Structure 1
Amino acid sequence: MPTSAAVTRWQVDRFGGDEEHYPNGGIWRFTAHAPSVGTSGTSGTTSAGGNPFATMVKRTGAEHLGTDPVWRGRPEPEDPQWWGREATFYESDLATSGWTSGVRAARCHAVDDHDGCRDVWLETVDVPANIDVCERAVAGLARWQLATAGARHPWLSEDWIPTHVRRRGLDNARTLAHPAWPSAIERGLDPCLREAVADRIIDPVEIRQLLQGFPPLLTHYDFHNANIGAVGDEVAIIDWAYVGWGPVGHDAGHLAADVADRELPPDKVWDLLRSAYCDALTEAGWPGDLATVRRSMTTSNVLRLGWQIDHVLNIIGDLPDEAIPSVNARLRFFAELQSSPEMAR
């Protein structure tokens, strides 16, 4: 961490992380308040333009696995949610190689090992991303994925989506019997969503078989707009805890699902980010068929995000009336994707 005699004080703010629920021991922001570089040559701990230097630290470790049954970290390196993967990614060449100008992984200042913890010190990133930054992010990710297609690191995750669905314990009959359906429909949820629930594929073995037909590339797996942001004029991507092999296009589709109906309707967001991703693959020399990319993007996200209807039913009583149309639009869009010709079965 940079130091200087000109530093007046450090401000430490804990703003995220939950050592009980989520798999980390906390996230802090350290800000050094100091004068900018003056004409006399006196230097302070500042960023470009004289702003206070700031850094983030995320605590990871075998003692901070969390209690959430889906997102809980695991102690085994071969598990898709091994607790040590994020720090290992930042120590590897994958964090710094293969990126193109303007889009990259967030810079890591250090990985600090102490007392059974691995603290990851990162530059600060201005999140969440707007739709323009998201569009740049998927294009940069596509180029990085092709540049790293030959990566050979044993710690990279595999089988992430089938494992994720299995840990959610989805059951179509149980979801259809959820007691919140009448009130949800009365408040505006489309009753046709029940048909989508009945058609969900939730067997991890079947999911695995469907995904094996798509070309694998390195996949972030938590690619949403709160993990994408700006550092000056550059786009930076954070939170690489689940990085590993996954179906081409999955991250672009997951991001589209996350930002759907925030700035644009779901179908417009999907088309925009899919086009940006496919165009970047083509420009980077993708040798495959873009129709396969589109099918992979659709199939992998329909399979992964089938739990969203359960989530909405569980929280419907807490949703304000003005949020229902947006929620309904997103769920309907995924129901349409599930029955689309691009959905591999």
Structure 2
Amino acid sequence: MHEALREAVGEAVGGRVTELTDLQRTPLDYDAFLAHRTVSRLRGYAIADGIRVPWTMIEKRTEGPGLASPYLLDNGSREFAAYGSGLLDDVAPGIGAPKLYGALQDETGGRTLWLEEIHHDGARPLDAESILAAARDLGGMAGRWLVREPAEPWYFTGWIDRHSQPEAVEAGLATLRRTHPDAVTRLGDRLARTEQLILDQSRYRTILESLPQTLCHHDAVGANIFRSHGRTVLIDWESVGAGPVGADLASLVFSSVRRGDALAGVMLPVVEEALVRYAAALRVEAPSVTVEEVRLGFDASVALRWKLAVDVVAGLEKGQPPRRGSLPDEDPDVALEELIGLVDLLLASADRALHPARDPGP
């Protein structure tokens, strides 16, 4: 691996590297539940064309099949293929990916990517400006790929099941039907509406599969979004694949708040503007797609995320409201209010998707 890393550093510094010195490796926080995946910041000095120069990059490694789970192998292989294919060299005018400096698949089947380190120019959790800029740029990417018919064999195809979690339906319905007093007090008729939402999941799938399909990141949450030098840069292309218009906007809006990458008080007031900007940018490239189709794709994609409401109910039963991973020290009462606000968005979107002429509001 040393030789491959030296070549990657050469790509980063733009010269022929003869020696690496003072190498430092700093592990970065990255989805701790995914064992046998590591992300580190590497830095040091290189002797390049006779000159000592500093360098830094991100190393992302997925272990081979002897260690990593099939799920992790699948994701790691997809991102490795995405970079190797050249797909990410020119995603869209407003969307970028970190530059690839080098890649290695070793004898164990492990895969390593050496990538450009990206720095976010805005605030975290995401501020309204970054949210709206990302919505616009995601729309531009969707519009550009509508006319390219994305169909690589390694594209991710299971995104609907990943969000709708059919394997969890039976337990989810049982949780709602226990009508725990605390859940009834805090959620009221949201319990019955969520039960119907779960029972309607096949209808949302049908809607999503009927809409214009494009290239989606499928994990465009705040933690994976960087505003850098006036562009939106997306990291973690492990779930890239085909999906309907509006799907990435649902990830940005809904999943960012669910994870704590954005605050409901910042996100929810700009949802409509985000949709307008996404649709406008998409229609520059693909004017045949209507705003109504974009809105339907967004609403139906949000409606897949019924598990949030069940998680809130389960937390109330246990006296431990669900926490948001990007805000581990958040006050539990604040977290609960944020998530109940998101439940309202979930239910409103679900209703609009099945009854587009109606607008029940949050």
CA gap of 1:8–1:146, structure 2 versus 1, over 3 A, is same
Moved more, 198-207 or 284-293: 198-207
Aligned counterpart, 2:325: none
**8 A contact 2:39–2:58 mirrored in 1:** no
Q: Distance in 1 between matches of 2:138 and 2:182?
A: 41
Equivalent of 2:342, from 322, 330, 341?
330
Unaligned runs of 5+ in 2: 1-7, 11-16, 322-331, 358-362
> Do the aligned partners of residues 152 and 333 (structure 1) sit closer, same or farther apart at CA in structure 2, a change above 3 Å counting?
closer
Alignment of 1:209-220 (within 5 A): 209-220=206-217
Query: What's the TM-score once normalised by structure 2's chain length?
Result: 0.76
Structure 2 residue aligned with 1:111: 103
Which runs of structure 2 are paired with 1:182-201 in the superposition (5 Å)? 182-184=181-183, 189-201=186-198
Measure the CA separation in 2 of the matches of 1:56 and 1:318. 36
1:318 corresponding residue in structure 2: 320
Deviations 1:294-318 (A, max 9, x none): 1111012212x11111222344433
| Structure 2 SS opposite 1:272 | helix
1:247-300 CA distances to partner (integer Å, 9 max, x unpaired)? 111111221113447164554232122111011012223312111111111012
Kept in 1, the 8 Å contact 2:219–2:239? The answer is yes
Q: Which residue of 2 aligns with 1:146?
A: 143
Deviations 1:125-178 (A, max 9, x none): 235544322322232222223333323312112242035424542235313135
| Pair 1:14-2:27 in alignment | yes
Residue 58 of structure 2, aligned match among 48, 55, 60:
55
For each residue in 1:164-196, what CA deviation from the matched residue of structure 2 results, as whole angstroms up to 9, or x when unmatched?
A: 4245422353131357x433455xx32222022
1:308 maps to 2:325: no
Candidates 218, 225, 228, aligned match of 1:228: 225
CA 299–315 in structure 1, closer or farther in 2 if over 3 Å, else same? same
- Equivalent residue pairs, number: 319
RMSD of aligned alpha carbons = 3.2
Following TM superposition, by how much is the alpha carbon of 1:27 offset from its aligned partner in structure 2, in angstroms? 1.6
After alignment, is 322-331 or 243-252 more displaced? Answer: 322-331
Measured after TM superposition, the shift of residue 214 of structure 1 is 0.9
Distance 1:31 1:178, change over 3 A: farther
Give the 3 Å change call, closer, same or farther, for CA 9–216 of structure 1 in structure 2: same
- Taking structure 1 as the reference length, the TM-score comes to 0.79
CA distance in 2, matches of 1:245, 1:288: 16
**5+ residue gaps in structure 1?**
47-52, 67-71, 76-80
The answer for the alignment partner of 2:40 in structure 1 is 28
Q: Look up the match of 2:128.
A: 131
Larger CA deviation: 24-33 vs 275-284: 24-33
- Corresponding position of 2:88: 95
Higher share of residues assigned helix: 2
Q: Do the aligned partners of 1:146 and 1:281 also contact (CA within 8 Å) in 2?
A: yes
Give the aligned partner of residue 284 of structure 2.
283
Distance 1:343 1:215, change over 3 A: farther
Query: Is the 8 Å Cα contact of residues 253 and 274 (structure 1) preserved in structure 2?
Result: no
Equivalent residue for 1:49?
none
CA distance in 1, matches of 2:139, 2:356: 22
